[in-house]
Amino acid sequence: MILTAAPILLVDVAGSILMIVFSFLCIGHVMKLKRGNPTNLIWTYLLWVCTALAAFAVSRSIGHILKQALLVSGHRQAWSGIAAYSGSVNTFMLTIVAAITLFFERIWNIYGGIMKDQQALRETHDKLVYVNQNLERLVEKRTEALARSEKQMAQADRLASIGQLSAGIAHEINNPLGIILGYTQLLMRGEEKENQRYDDLKTIEKHVRNCKAIVEDLLNFARSSKTKKEMIHIPETVDEILDFIRQHSKLGDVAIDHDYDAEMPSILADEKKIKQVLINLVMNARHAVGTDGTISVMTRYDVGEDQIAITVADTGYGIEEKNLSRIFDPFFTTKSTGEGTGLGLSVSYGIIKNHGGDIDVESAPGQGSRFTIRLPAATREKKRT
């Protein structure tokens, strides 16, 4: 009977011994992990659980070994009296494991809240350190933004005031100019083209037409026509403008390059007014480069800001620093007398502002000029609506 049960005895005893060995190995491994990171609650929980399971393993293994020893030695009656106590100890140890798990479940919730608070404190501390280290730069940046906003508001007020003044002056001057031009043309009909009086009248006609052109610019500047917005694709609009300028302007050795962003979205804008702005910028660049130079037109899409940028750059002389702050002022021009009214950039500024965009210039003597228009992409307009 004993020989028949020998394999069972061997497996039971060997299994009990291995259970004790493995449980203590687990305790040793967890203690090693806890020494590496003593503040980690997970390792503390596992150490307690492994210790309780090791106690359970010892209790159960001793019970099994004692049972087999008593049964083999013929003391079955003795084991019957001990079995209840052995089972109670095993049950108690499992209860301890469950209690540890419940206890640490509560502790873990508290620990999680503490960790979140620590993370929030750490982030707040990092932000405070960043602000402290960059306070001067941030204040300077905000000051520049405020100054830029004030400048734009002042520019808008100045444009509005000058626009009202220009409208009144233009209407008062336009009628007399029309009368002068009409009578001059009537007098020219009665004169021979070869005599001096005809040449004098022709000179009067020329200068009256120049005056009427200036008055027309004033009216365009003052007139706030309703903006008719539609979906337009800027690269196509730029191509049309460049083709027009190449056909109707004597470029000579002036080269016009373009570089379009392949991801450029459409915008919601008044195409005629946008063309007016771009033609003005390109023609200004044409005047700046003279007979030999390069004009570059570039488009870019800023995904982060959800806006497009159109840049017109030239290799001309550039703009003096003293003139940069006045470049968008009405009637300000660096061109020679009779070559410009100084209204082109002012009108362009107003058009871009009415489209919710912005226009700025970068320039230095000897380094050319870069005018950049920024307009909201159509996606942003859809979000607003």
Q: Specify the residue for token string 């640490």.
A: 104
Residue 3 pLDDT class (50, 70, 90 cuts): very low
**In the chain, pLDDT over 90 holds for what percent of residues?**
15
pLDDT at 211 (0 to 100): 79
Query: Which of these ranges, 57-61, 194-198, 263-267, has the smallest mean pLDDT?
Result: 57-61
pLDDT at 4 (0 to 100): 44
Query: Which of these ranges, 103-107, 217-221, 374-378, has the smallest mean pLDDT?
Result: 217-221
Rounded distance between C-alpha atoms, residue 152 and residue 352, angstroms: 12
pLDDT at 222 (0 to 100): 54
Query: Taking a C-beta distance cutoff of 8 angstroms, is the pair 279, 245 a contact?
Result: yes
- Highest-scoring range by mean pLDDT, 47-51, 132-136, 159-163, 333-337: 47-51
pTM value is: 0.49
pLDDT at 10 (0 to 100): 67
Q: What is the overall mean pLDDT for the chain?
A: 78
Pairing status of strand 307-314 against strand 369-376: antiparallel
Class of domain 226-385: alpha beta
Average pLDDT (225-238) is 84
Residue 30 pLDDT class (50, 70, 90 cuts): confident
pLDDT at 381 (0 to 100): 47
Residue 292 pairs with which residues in a beta bridge? 253
Query: Taking a C-beta distance cutoff of 8 angstroms, is the pair 330, 320 a contact?
Result: no
Rounded distance between C-alpha atoms, residue 264 and residue 303, angstroms: 10
pLDDT at 169 (0 to 100): 64
DSSP state of 292: E
Average pLDDT (6-13) is 63
Query: Which of these ranges, 39-48, 193-202, 242-251, 337-346, has the smallest mean pLDDT?
Result: 337-346
pLDDT at 144 (0 to 100): 76
DSSP state of 191: S
Query: How many angstroms separate the first and last alpha carbons of the chain?
Result: 93
Residue 324 pairs with which residues in a beta bridge? none
Rounded distance between C-alpha atoms, residue 208 and residue 201, angstroms: 10
pLDDT at 294 (0 to 100): 93
Q: Is the pLDDT higher at 224 or at 131? A: 131
202-205: long-range pairs with CB below 8 Å, 24+? 204/180, 205/181
- Phi, psi angles (nearest 5°) of residue 185: -65, -35
Q: 274: which residues sit within 8 A by CB, 6+ positions away?
A: 232, 234, 237, 351, 355
Burial (Cβ within 10 Å: 0-12, 13-18, ≥19) of residue 261: middle
- Highest-scoring range by mean pLDDT, 1-5, 296-300, 349-353: 296-300
Rounded distance between C-alpha atoms, residue 304 and residue 2, angstroms: 83
* DSSP 3-state of 330: coil
pLDDT at 158 (0 to 100): 60
Q: Is the pLDDT higher at 202 or at 218? A: 202
Sheet with 307-314, strands from edge to edge, namely 253-259, 292-302, 307-314, 369-376, 358-363
Residue 64 has pLDDT above 60, yes or no: yes
pLDDT at 384 (0 to 100): 46
Angle (CA) 73-79-83 rounded to 5° is 150
Pairing status of strand 292-302 against strand 253-259: parallel
Average pLDDT (153-182) is 67
Residue 45 pLDDT class (50, 70, 90 cuts): confident
